[in-house]
Chain A
């Protein structure tokens, strides 16, 4: 009897844990955040949240600091994304050939990706230290003048982008390498017959064939880079002078340092919309390209 009931309801029972998880850990927080974004609440247990309608949205959209963080979020995202995509594809193509010790090189190359971001942030903090850090020691060794790195308002963004590139280029390479392994050999044979050079084969055969893979890799990274928090918080906390403050860092500051829970939620709702819009755009671009090819 029991077994029958179990069999009949299997589809519900097996999916229940996943559905519950998504409801509790994802849907509920998002809806709750959306709700708080219409309240003013300072985390006080004596004064309850106060309904303020769209006041938080108006205040945030007219806040100069918000727009600066939006700009900085995009600079960081696209700076990191472009560099790591180009590098990642190049490295994947290089590693795709056969050579001695290939697996060892591949493994070492993937290490930054598996390290804990906060721990790596702390390591980079030491590397970037202006007087005794490894970065400046290296610069001095090759005869260049030492830099301020993350302690300089103008260099902090490139320095953080460099960290992100170091950490996540392997992920792009990994995906692209998987894509390379599935490519058909016929187009290459045809190219050989036509007398194409190595460069021409890469540009006119490999890249177009890889395009769907690269787009998937870029889309995954795009969402991830947009919401980068750990490495920035571990190194600069948005400083010096707010020059590395991204949307996520500003949201954290609003919520847990200023205790403006309503404003922080508003910011996250807007951020959510931005991520959503960019993702939809990427999906649209991908479909267009697939149709075109």
Chain B
């Protein structure tokens, strides 16, 4: 009995020690050691710890590579955790709901989350930080990208990645068939039809067909016909313009798309294109490396880039800030958190990440010759051309974006499986209107 008791005591002791050690680590965040401040401004954050959450995205990968540089400069220790995009947003939501002070800084998708996160009090407004340091030059960020990160007049995040909707095509196939690069929707439909040959596993057009993922993609098709998700607080999904745009997209995927398109998000869709199995691919420009990297692609030297084709209302692709970086409103040390954001979005670092192929949000970086070295010349031209105009959102501007996406995405999915698109749009319009009314009523 006694011996048992002793062993039990040892176990308890070990557990108590472990817990106190853990809390000692946590406590380190709150109290900067006194001696360090004496060392001057060179390493103002010596010994601090910062936790960062990033998405598995090329920008996140690029910044991870550069972090040792930041640690060297500031003396901070940065702990990075990466997640798949969906998992990141779920993880953030769960952590913030439970009032967690970590992660201090995180990547987020402003169009999906800015409104909801800010309304829940999870985002630290950054207005006073962005003007603190004149060298930071906040005016340098493109207006559209800042407006995506602004809620109720407050800057809630700093744009890191901008994206435009463009058309990818196979130069060799178009040349062989003597087809010009499509400039209108009708030309695109005709070209996709001409190059569609399923018996040879060659498909005319690939793009996202998954219910929720496709919603941002149909936005440009709708805008270019004069359509919209909603207009003046009214759902606009079943208007002739919106339906025409969605119908073009559904037709391309149903009649000239690869098999299994209903389960494809962008990685699968660009995979089809990169394996040389589709003639056209439409999606954002920022993922071009998945097709242009010879290691991932069999057709890397045959890719052409074109401005989004024009519909009845001209070429109106979305032009947005798809990713930003934001601060947890409960972050333990906001100055340290801001130091990281400031560094990660500074001119120098944004040039570095852009050189690795991440289209950034600083105009000066785009204007510098170095800023476009990563991009194929044609892609840089198409990007700069698209940045002049375009629409600043690719998703409906409501709180419950996730729910709205499911409602809207089902229109195109039903059309792809052969159902009547107008009937599907009428039904979705009703559901979407109910969602809008419900939100404005609150």
Query: Do the beta carbons of B211 and A239 come within 8 Å of each other?
Result: yes
- What class of interface size applies to chain B in its complex with A? 20 to 34
- Which residues in A have their C-beta under 8 angstroms from that of B116? 259
When C-beta atoms are compared, the residue in chain A nearest to B404 turns out to be A258
Contact string against A for B residues 277-291, beta-carbon threshold 8 Å, 1 for contact and 0 otherwise: 100000000000000
When C-beta atoms are compared, the residue in chain A nearest to B5 turns out to be A2
Query: Do the beta carbons of B93 and A153 come within 8 Å of each other?
Result: no
Query: Do the beta carbons of B99 and A45 come within 8 Å of each other?
Result: yes
Q: Does B155 contact A (CB under 8 A)?
A: no
Q: Which of A46, A130, A258 contacts B402 (CB 8 A)?
A: A258
Query: Do the beta carbons of B93 and A239 come within 8 Å of each other?
Result: no
Query: Do the beta carbons of A43 and B211 come within 8 Å of each other?
Result: no
Binds A, one of B22-30, B62-70, B235-243, B257-265: B257-265
A253 to B258, CA, bound (A): 28
What's the minimum C-beta distance from A190 to chain B, rounded to whole angstroms?
Answer: 57
Q: Does A236 contact B (CB under 8 A)?
A: yes
- Which residues in B have their C-beta under 8 angstroms from that of A149? 260
Query: Do the beta carbons of A240 and B262 come within 8 Å of each other?
Result: yes
Query: Do the beta carbons of B262 and A258 come within 8 Å of each other?
Result: no
- Which residues in A have their C-beta under 8 angstroms from that of B410? 241-242
Q: Does B96 contact A (CB under 8 A)?
A: yes
Interface residues of B in 44-65 (CB under 8 A from A): none
- Which residues in A have their C-beta under 8 angstroms from that of B406? 253, 257
Q: Does A256 contact B (CB under 8 A)?
A: yes
Query: Do the beta carbons of B93 and A45 come within 8 Å of each other?
Result: no
A131 to B406, CA, bound (A): 27
A278 to B189, CA, bound (A): 52
Interface centre among A43, A148, A253, A257, by most chain B C-beta atoms within 10 angstroms, is: A257
Query: Do the beta carbons of B260 and A148 come within 8 Å of each other?
Result: yes
What's the minimum C-beta distance from A66 to chain B, rounded to whole angstroms?
Answer: 14
Q: Does B120 contact A (CB under 8 A)?
A: yes
Interface residues of A in 148-205 (CB under 8 A from B): 148-153
Q: Does A3 contact B (CB under 8 A)?
A: yes
A241-B414 contact in complex given A151-B259, A151-B263, C-beta closer than 8 Å: yes
Query: Do the beta carbons of A43 and B97 come within 8 Å of each other?
Result: yes
- What class of interface size applies to chain A in its complex with B? 20 to 34
Q: Which of A44, A130, A236, A239 contacts B259 (CB 8 A)?
A: A130
Query: Do the beta carbons of A129 and B211 come within 8 Å of each other?
Result: no
Interface residues of A in 41-65 (CB under 8 A from B): 43-47
Query: Do the beta carbons of B1 and A257 come within 8 Å of each other?
Result: no
Query: Do the beta carbons of B97 and A45 come within 8 Å of each other?
Result: yes
Query: Do the beta carbons of B260 and A239 come within 8 Å of each other?
Result: no
Query: Do the beta carbons of A150 and B263 come within 8 Å of each other?
Result: yes
Contact string against B for A residues 135-157, beta-carbon threshold 8 Å, 1 for contact and 0 otherwise: 00000000000101111110000
What's the minimum C-beta distance from A123 to chain B, rounded to whole angstroms?
Answer: 16
Q: Which of A150, A240, A259 contacts B211 (CB 8 A)?
A: A240
A256-B90 contact in complex given A44-B120, A131-B277, A153-B417, C-beta closer than 8 Å: yes
Q: How many A-B residue contacts, CB cutoff 8 Å?
A: 75
A257-B260 contact in complex given A45-B96, A153-B417, C-beta closer than 8 Å: no
A46-B121 contact in complex given A241-B262, A259-B93, C-beta closer than 8 Å: yes
A151-B260 contact in complex given A45-B99, A131-B201, C-beta closer than 8 Å: yes
What's the minimum C-beta distance from A131 to chain B, rounded to whole angstroms?
Answer: 6
- Which residues in B have their C-beta under 8 angstroms from that of A151? 259-263
- Which residues in A have their C-beta under 8 angstroms from that of B211? 239-242
- Which residues in A have their C-beta under 8 angstroms from that of B90? 256
A131-B263 contact in complex given A46-B121, A258-B402, A258-B403, C-beta closer than 8 Å: no
Q: Does B210 contact A (CB under 8 A)?
A: yes
Interface residues of A in 8-62 (CB under 8 A from B): 43-47
Q: Which of B121, B209, B402 contacts A257 (CB 8 A)?
A: B402
Contact string against B for A residues 225-259, beta-carbon threshold 8 Å, 1 for contact and 0 otherwise: 00000000000100111100000000001001111
A43 to B94, CA, bound (A): 8
What's the minimum C-beta distance from B413 to chain A, rounded to whole angstroms?
Answer: 4
A66 to B406, CA, bound (A): 14
A48 to B402, CA, bound (A): 21
- Which residues in B have their C-beta under 8 angstroms from that of A45? 96-97, 99, 120-122
Contact string against A for B residues 240-275, beta-carbon threshold 8 Å, 1 for contact and 0 otherwise: 000000000000000000111111000000001000
A152 to B1, CA, bound (A): 66
- Which residues in A have their C-beta under 8 angstroms from that of B262? 151-153, 239-241
Query: Do the beta carbons of A3 and B1 come within 8 Å of each other?
Result: yes
- Which residues in B have their C-beta under 8 angstroms from that of A258? 400, 402-403
A45 to B120, CA, bound (A): 6
A293 to B165, CA, bound (A): 70
- Which residues in B have their C-beta under 8 angstroms from that of A3? 1
Q: Does B10 contact A (CB under 8 A)?
A: no
- Which residues in A have their C-beta under 8 angstroms from that of B33? none
Interface residues of B in 92-111 (CB under 8 A from A): 93, 96-97, 99
When C-beta atoms are compared, the residue in chain B nearest to A146 turns out to be B259
- Which residues in A have their C-beta under 8 angstroms from that of B277? 131
Beyond A45-B97, A240-B209, list 12 extra A-B contacts (CB 8 Å). Answer: A46-B119, A131-B258, A131-B259, A131-B277, A151-B263, A240-B210, A240-B263, A240-B413, A241-B417, A257-B403, A259-B93, A259-B116
> Can you list 11 contacts pairing A with B, beta carbon distance less than 8 Å?
A43-B120, A45-B99, A46-B119, A130-B260, A131-B259, A150-B263, A151-B260, A151-B261, A236-B263, A239-B263, A240-B209
The 7 A-B residue pairs with the shortest CB-CB distance in the complex, in nearest-first order: A151-B260, A240-B262, A130-B260, A130-B259, A241-B413, A44-B120, A258-B403
